[in-house]
């Protein structure tokens, strides 16, 4: 009787081990992807997820409402991948927070632009007109550089270009009132502000026509968006993502002239 109990117990234990192993294997193939509001969730769903699903992954998309939580969630293993940020933002964020995350590849990116619902040309600007820009460190400096490139302000050349604030404006020909606000609010601010510098993903999410921007930035390499993962995922998930980005199926979706991604600025150096 005692021997039978031992045999039965061992059989149950073995079954539990097998079931646990199967459950873990299943979880390894389930990935959650963090995106911000805008087109990059659609890019992942339409151009990247199908390729990963062919490789056996089950892909879930989770949308975040800001630029902070997707990286924290990635580092904390709440999600496995994110696609919402450019390389400079990622590098600055992970260094400041000491996060073990990394970029694995570039994707086509919608640049930021200067938009208005009130004027059609900068010559119509008046002294004291309000312009809104994103208030996070990286995109605030980026927006100021865009305003300078458009000829609206001049910035102190002695200040690091990645640490610029409105206090570093040394010439302001229109006396613009530059107001930093939360990045997702920039499109909505067009109801009150005369100008707003809006990142591409939020512009598209708000239904703005990229071609109607009064000025469209020319993206540097470090301002093109990247897919980020944890460093521990590079050897498997990272390689699988890179293979999908190299695939003709990905290129077909991106280069479809009737699709939203066709207007995005394509990287010449797509992968790391």
What confidence tier does 270 reach under pLDDT thresholds 50, 70, 90? low
Residue 58, classed as helix, strand or coil, is: strand
pLDDT in tens, 148-167: 999 999 999 999 998 999 99
- The string of DSSP codes covering 86-144 is EHHHHHHHHHHHT--EEEEEE--BPPPEEE-SS-SSGGG--TT-EEEEE-SHHHHHHHH
Q: What is the DSSP letter of 271?
A: B
Q: Which helix (H) or strand (E) holds 167?
A: none
Instruction: Tell me, yes or no, whether 122 and 207 share the same domain.
Output: yes
Nearest C-alpha neighbor of 115 from the set 220, 189, 176, 181: 189
User: What's the CA angle centered on 261, arms 44 and 87, to 5 degrees?
Assistant: 65
Average pLDDT for residues 13-29, to the nearest whole number? Answer: 51
Q: Say yes or no to pLDDT of 19 above 50.
A: no
11 within a domain of the structure (yes/no): no
What does the alpha-carbon distance between residue 260 and residue 272 come to, in Å, rounded to a whole number? 25
CATH number for the domain that contains residue 121: 3.40.190.10
178 within a domain of the structure (yes/no): yes
Instruction: Tell me, yes or no, whether 227 and 102 share the same domain.
Output: yes
271 within a domain of the structure (yes/no): no
Instruction: Tell me, yes or no, whether 77 and 119 share the same domain.
Output: no
Instruction: Tell me, yes or no, whether 99 and 117 share the same domain.
Output: no
240 within a domain of the structure (yes/no): yes
What does the alpha-carbon distance between residue 242 and residue 106 come to, in Å, rounded to a whole number? 10
Instruction: Tell me, yes or no, whether 69 and 43 share the same domain.
Output: yes
What does the alpha-carbon distance between residue 26 and residue 30 come to, in Å, rounded to a whole number? 7
Which pair of tokens denotes residue 8? 């039965």
Instruction: Tell me, yes or no, whether 122 and 203 share the same domain.
Output: yes
Instruction: Tell me, yes or no, whether 186 and 213 share the same domain.
Output: yes
267 within a domain of the structure (yes/no): no
Encode 185-225 in three state secondary structure.
HCCHHHHCCCEEEECHHHHHHCCCCHHHCCEECCCCHHHCE
pLDDT in tens, 82-131: 999 999 899 999 999 999 999 999 999 999 999 999 999 999 999 999 99
263 within a domain of the structure (yes/no): no
- Determine if the pTM surpasses 0.95: no
What confidence tier does 205 reach under pLDDT thresholds 50, 70, 90? confident
Nearest C-alpha neighbor of 261 from the set 201, 217, 183: 201
Work out how many domains the chain is built from and give that number: 2
Instruction: Tell me, yes or no, whether 75 and 207 share the same domain.
Output: no
What does the alpha-carbon distance between residue 175 and residue 126 come to, in Å, rounded to a whole number? 8
Give Dmax over CA atoms of the chain in angstroms.
96
Instruction: Tell me, yes or no, whether 236 and 102 share the same domain.
Output: yes
Instruction: Tell me, yes or no, whether 100 and 226 share the same domain.
Output: yes
Classify the C-alpha dihedral 68-106-54-21 as positive or negative: negative
148 within a domain of the structure (yes/no): yes
The pLDDT, as a whole number, for residue 17 is 43
Q: Say yes or no to pLDDT of 5 above 50.
A: no
Instruction: Tell me, yes or no, whether 119 and 172 share the same domain.
Output: yes
What is the span of the domain harbouring residue 239? 30-109+222-255
Q: Residue 232: CB partners within 8 Å, gap ≥ 6?
A: 100
40 within a domain of the structure (yes/no): yes
Instruction: Tell me, yes or no, whether 63 and 140 share the same domain.
Output: no
Average pLDDT for residues 57-85, to the nearest whole number? Answer: 96
């Amino acid at each position: 009787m005692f021997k039978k109990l031992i045999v039965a117990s061992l059989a149950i234990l073995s079954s539990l081990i097998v079931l646990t192993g199967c459950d873990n294997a299943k979880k390894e193939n389930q990935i959650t992807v963090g995106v911000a509001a805008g087109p990059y969730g659609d890019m992942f769903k339409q151009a990247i997820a199908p390729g990963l699903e062919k490789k056996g992954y089950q892909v879930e998309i989770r949308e975040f409402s800001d630029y902070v939580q997707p990286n924290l969630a990635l580092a904390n293993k709440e999600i496995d991948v994110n696609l919402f940020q450019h390389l400079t933002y990622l590098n600055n964020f992970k260094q400041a927070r000491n996060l073990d995350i990394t970029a694995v590849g570039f994707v086509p990116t919608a640049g930021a632009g200067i938009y208005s619902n009130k004027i059609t040309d900068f010559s119509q600007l008046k002294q004291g007109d309000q312009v809104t820009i994103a208030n996070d460190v990286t995109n605030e400096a980026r927006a100021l550089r865009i305003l300078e490139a458009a000829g609206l302000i001049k910035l102190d050349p002695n200040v690091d270009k990645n640490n610029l604030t409105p206090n570093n404006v040394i010439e302001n020909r229109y006396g613009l009132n530059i107001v930093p606000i939360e990045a997702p609010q920039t499109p909505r601010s067009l109801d009150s502000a005369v100008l707003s510098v809006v990142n591409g993903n939020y512009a598209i999410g708000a239904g703005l026509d990229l071609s109607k921007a009064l000025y469209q930035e020319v993206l540097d390499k470090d301002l093109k968006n990247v897919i980020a993962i944890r460093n521990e995922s590079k050897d498997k998930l990272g390689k699988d993502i890179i293979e999908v980005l190299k695939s003709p199926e990905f290129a077909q979706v991106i280069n479809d002239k009737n699709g939203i991604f066709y207007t995005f600025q394509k990287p010449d150096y797509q992968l790391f």
